[in-house]
Amino acid sequence: MVNTHLVPDKWNVSRIIDIVENIIDYRGRTPLKLGMEWGKGDIPALSARNVKMGRIDFEEETYYGSEDLYNRWMSNNCTKKDDIVITTEAPLGNVALIPDDSKYILSQRTILLQINPTIVFNRFLYHYFVSKQFQNILAKHSTGSTAKGIQRKKFETLEIIYPPLPEQTAIAAALSDADTLITSLDRLITKKRNIKQATMQKLLTGKKRLPGISSEWEIQELRTIVKEFIVPMRDKPKVFRGDIPWCRIEDFNGKYLDGSKSGQHVDKEIINGMNLKIHPFGTLLVSCSADLGRCAIIRKPLVTNQTFIGLVVDESKLLNEFLYYYMTFNADELNNISSGTTISYLSRELFESFKVYIPINKEEQTAIATVLSDMDTEIAELEEKRDKARMIKEGMMQELLTGRIRLV
């Protein structure tokens, strides 16, 4: 129940069932039960796998039905643009707006709300459902251990607070503008990542040469250009203390690695007692089991578990940043040569014999790494801008959807 003492002036409290004109819920329905089958048409079915937070995603596996299936399934109910669809289980609470007036078959683990426009503006309610405060309420009333879900009867009784319609419209417009900015930044980031991938394809294969550089390229095994392969011990320290970071795959975040997010550290006594190996500054860490081929360059001496192998390059022959981009680009090839059944693994021997195609001239290696690094910097700046926009929007939601800040 909503604490009425916390409801802002002129705001109302209602149950979800009291602000909707219709709830469409066909979660138990299947083509088989209707004596029909999927296919034979192009009308998409909306299931929980297609409903992401804030959008409908048909890149996920999607079933399609015929006109006959649609008519029998939807029983004269039809979705409309800006209807609200929400997942009720696996996952719980993803919310999206129907994007257009096309036909959709409402399928597994989703329900659709058609809002009474004289009470609530649907885009206001959409943002309200997305908010942390409502998601927390949803989780509080969910059931199940492994897969959280909520019963329709319980969902219908959940209460929301809302201002008069003019203020709802103003709030929805402000939050939609924030969404538009975030979406545009996401699209730009995707575009820049695709450009970088295409550039790597050209520069790291020698198909495109940078102006003013014409060195030879050759195939070499890593053992000829890496002077040390550091293979960590399998044992994990029983206690953590000291100031030397102990790092895992979860600590990777970008090209460089200089610390442990978990705050786990070891000292020289632990290192000597367990015969652990310290990766020196500039080592290229490459994942050799989990998330094969993921790389990072060490900026501070540290210790890792057996998930990685450390490559200390011969700096007279190879630039470690060039090798970082080369190994990252060729992660699929590392997967292809890995061994193991349930868990893939790359041994030191496989790393030593791994063949790379590189320019002999370090000037060209540096030039290629610089081009790609500049692209990384641009992408990182856009990601930071996008993340800041998300934080600002989150703050707006906390203030606007609770009435702490009034727009009208």
Q: What is the DSSP string of 279-316?
A: BPTT-EEEESBTBTT-EEEESS-BEE-TTEEEEEE-TT
**Amino acid, res. 273:** G
CA–CA separation, 120 vs 78, rounded Å? 20
Interacting residues of 363 by C-beta distance below 8 A, sequence separation 6+: 213, 215
Q: Which residue ranges in the chain fall short of pLDDT 50?
A: 341
Helix, coil or strand: residue 255: coil
Q: What is the pLDDT of residue 288?
A: 86
User: Do 10 and 123 have their domain in common?
Assistant: yes
Helix, coil or strand: residue 127: helix
User: Do 393 and 405 have their domain in common?
Assistant: yes
User: Do 354 and 365 have their domain in common?
Assistant: no
Q: Are 298 and 339 contacting, i.e. CB atoms less than 8 angstroms apart?
A: no
CA–CA separation, 288 vs 109, rounded Å? 38
User: Do 8 and 157 have their domain in common?
Assistant: yes
- Give burial (CB, 10 Å; 0-12/13-18/19+) of 314: exposed
pLDDT tens digits for 380-393? Answer: 999 999 999 999 99
Q: How far is CA 396 from CA 174, 376, 406, in A?
A: 9, 30, 11
CA–CA separation, 351 vs 357, rounded Å? 14
Which structure tokens are listed for 89? 């289980």
Using the structure block, give the residue that is written with the tokens 């081929």.
293
Q: What is the pLDDT of residue 342?
A: 55
Q: What is the pLDDT of residue 67?
A: 95
Q: What is the pLDDT of residue 277?
A: 87
CB atoms closer than 10 angstroms to residue 268: 12
pLDDT tens digits for 57-107? Answer: 998 889 999 999 999 999 889 999 999 999 999 899 999 999 999 999 999
Helix, coil or strand: residue 317: coil
User: Do 26 and 153 have their domain in common?
Assistant: yes
User: Do 389 and 324 have their domain in common?
Assistant: no
Tell me how long the chain is.
Answer: 408
Q: What is the pLDDT of residue 84?
A: 98
CA–CA separation, 103 vs 162, rounded Å? 30
Q: What is the pLDDT of residue 341?
A: 47
Instruction: Give φ, ψ of 296 to 5 degrees.
Output: -160, 150
Which structure tokens are listed for 263? 């705050």
- Residue-number span of the structural domain to which 124 is assigned: 4-162
User: Do 74 and 207 have their domain in common?
Assistant: no
Q: Which of 228, 355, 318 is nearest to 279 (CA)?
A: 228
User: Do 379 and 260 have their domain in common?
Assistant: no
Helix, coil or strand: residue 329: helix
Q: Are 78 and 62 contacting, i.e. CB atoms less than 8 angstroms apart?
A: no
**Amino acid, res. 82:** D
Number of structural domains, the chain? Answer: 3
Q: Helix axis angle, 320-329 relative to 165-203, nearest 10°? A: 110
User: Do 128 and 80 have their domain in common?
Assistant: yes
User: Do 20 and 130 have their domain in common?
Assistant: yes
pLDDT tens digits for 139-180? Answer: 999 998 788 899 999 999 999 999 999 999 999 999 999 999
CATH code, domain with 81: 3.90.220.20
Q: How far is CA 350 from CA 48, 222, 285, 288, 328, in A?
A: 42, 10, 15, 10, 16
Whole-structure pTM value: 0.85
User: Do 125 and 177 have their domain in common?
Assistant: no
CA–CA separation, 307 vs 345, rounded Å? 9
Instruction: Give φ, ψ of 133 to 5 degrees.
Output: -65, -40
User: Do 289 and 227 have their domain in common?
Assistant: yes
- Beta strands 110-115 and 303-304, pairing class: unpaired
Task: Round the CA-based radius of gyration of the chain to a whole number and report it.
Answer: 28
Q: What is the pLDDT of residue 1?
A: 66
Q: Which of 281, 256, 250, 292 is nearest to 376 (CA)?
A: 256
